[in-house]
Amino acid sequence: MIGTLYFLALLVSTLAWGHVGVWSELATRNGTGDGVRCTCDAFLPSSTFPIRDLIVVEETAGEISHRLELEIGKLEEYTLKMTAYAERIVTLTAKVEIMEKNSDDYSDADLEEIKVEIKQVEALIQELQLSIKSSTDVFESLRVQITAMVTTLDKLEKTYDKNLVLATRREYTEIQLKLEECEKRHQELFNPNIGSCAHSGITKLGKPIVSQFNAHLSAGYKYGGWGKDSKPIPDRESMYWYSGYTTSSIHDIRFYTNYKNLILRTPFLHQTLVTGWAGTGNNFIVRENCLYYQINSPFGLAKLNLTSVKYQSRVIAGASSSFSYSNSPNQNFDFSADETGLYVTFAKDETRGKMVIARINEESFGIEEEWITSLYKPGVSNAFMVCGVLYAVKTVDIHTEEIFYMYDTKTKKEYYVSVPFERFQDKYSNLDYNPTDQKLYMYNNGYYVSYHLWFNQTAPTTKQSPIAPNSQNITGNVM
């Protein structure tokens, strides 16, 4: 949603001003704290008003209004759920009163423990309700502003008044700031426990959030990936990356300072892989400013340190080039990063295509430990790691994927589960989890797509294996 809004800003900027310079954020310090000022260089056109572009903008604005209404509906749904939880607390409080009347059956410690738990949950619910209400107000405000924005553009078509153009520019600057605040609040609502593994697994995925078409704006770039650094270095926390091609090859990668510049297609770095280090497959990730990807000569793992521009390669004994995912060619090695570290999955001929999980030592670029699963890799459409647990995905139909399998590297046990989710379009080539925002990033038929994840937060605060509720243990120790 936010990405589409920035895309609208780009289109309107082009429409109203003819040419738009690079967006920038200027951080200023003073005695009261830090501030952020956003600027944009623009040049007024001397040509006639581009009416065709105006029609595109109006259509896009209509789509955004519809998507905003959907997002507001989701937040209202959460409000209803929180109300239901509050009612359960009231019921639990009534039970406590009964316990107090039969105090001989319970110790004082039992009563006090339950009372404290109730108060903590009540406080949490109240806090979430306030957050949801605040986010809902922001989304509604943005919807109204976008409607007014379309009206302003309609006037521009008739009058082409430069003063109105400048007024629209100021309005967009204000909207941009509010969008950033909206994204922050939205993030807090959906991901209150970033970095925590105190949960028992994924319970569901949100609707696909489509940011835009690939940076090449070409339907032929069906292969590739995008996302964020899973362990960003200082001052690169907001950085995004993208790499795409017409085949399952890796020749270059683009980096953007933030989400706006990703959507505006203005990279600050375009890194081309040197001769002899081109890769293949759609399995690459960026971690701690290093690109990890598959290389074919020799067949193995490759690492490019983007700070020092130093290349490394590693060969894994027994790894096979015969087994890839069901809908993505040459994806023999698949890199994943989560809260616990860096991993790569692959298959071996000696295991007859069963998927192997390997933890990578990031400093030495060597393999620390391996786990052999019972999962046949060609029967899987993709996989990713969360909190040391492998989640495997398969295709259900042309619109639906399903997380159907889990392997816990801590307990060495595997499970069948069922967590369906919706695809934006039929084919996708890359699916990766990022622990910095607890989102899934998918490169879906040339589009940037992402998903919010929900976890079962009923696990105790002590560390334990994140096993999904109601899952079926299919095997014990498989090593």
Residues 6+ apart with CB under 8 A from 11: 53, 56, 57, 60
Please give the full DSSP string across 88-139, using - where no structure is assigned.
Answer: HHHHHHHHHHHHHHTGGGS-HHHHHHHHHHHHHHHHHHHHHHHHHHHHHHHH
pTM of the model: 0.63
**Helix, coil or strand: residue 212:** strand
Q: How far is Cα 429 from Cα 325, in angstroms, rounded to an integer?
A: 9
Domains, the chain: 2-190 (1.10.287), 202-475 (2.130.10)
Each residue's pLDDT tens digit in the chain (479 positions)? 444 444 444 443 344 333 333 333 343 333 333 443 434 344 444 444 555 555 555 656 666 665 566 666 666 666 676 776 677 677 777 777 777 777 777 777 777 777 777 777 777 777 767 766 666 666 666 666 666 666 666 665 555 555 655 555 555 555 555 555 555 555 555 555 787 888 889 999 999 999 889 999 988 999 999 999 999 999 899 999 999 999 999 999 999 999 888 988 999 999 999 999 999 988 899 999 999 999 988 999 999 999 999 999 999 999 999 999 988 888 999 999 999 999 999 999 998 999 999 999 999 999 999 999 999 999 999 999 999 999 999 999 989 999 999 999 999 999 999 999 999 988 899 999 999 999 999 999 999 999 999 998 765 443 334 444 434 444 433 33
**Single-letter amino acid code for the residue at 87:** E
